[in-house]
Structure 1
């Protein structure tokens, strides 16, 4: 699920930078460099020493919030908040340990779930998966339409 959030952030950053390129805020060389870093960036300098450094994942996440702000007027960072909560669940040093437990508000008691008892995962907003899937598709389709309208595509199959 984190990969879905991060990939949605990546397509949102590509969308944002494409708009900046079309508005001539970025040169074609700057835009090309951003795309290179976005698609080929890695921290693996042992096997890929000449590869560009990747974008920090939070820059990608923030690009998704930028899209929400521009398109829908959101004033908070909903996407980042969802990603932060999801990240907290996956870390072995904190909240992730307590996924199968309930903690009292005063933090003094932990109630463990029984072996056969289902834990109410909806408490952790897994509906974010549905939202993020839809959100990714929305950004992708809008970006693709912009590219098809504004760019000369070399192959007919890319146009349909």
Structure 2
């Protein structure tokens, strides 16, 4: 008999559609000079930021749009790849070079990224679950645990 506690994996649009949405979002952001495309989180929803990492192999800057919420001075996001199996390139880059920059409504700031662990991860995952009720179902699509990424403020010159 199936375990009723296992979350049902929700429907996702086709991969090509998800990738197209990412491309369009970045194009809108670039095309408006950053005036459109970023948003602050609200109590019941996440915001959108632009994360700029350094490529682990190329050494070139790479940017991606991500959902986030605030946890005190920290920003919290999830290392997912449209809920696909592979780790997102930005997460691999951040692990190799943890000092990164985020663009938020109102300006940019330098941050240092790391994966949350233990009780901190449990607490932050629970907060994501409050924002996205289907989170556990989406997470079942991935063969490995989804990293909860904490972006901590750092001084401009470190």
TM-score category of the 2 structures, normalised to the smaller one:
under 0.3
Report which of the two has the higher share of helix: 1
Q: TM-score, normalised by structure 1?
A: 0.22
- Which structure has the larger Rg? 1
Q: TM-score, normalised by structure 2?
A: 0.22
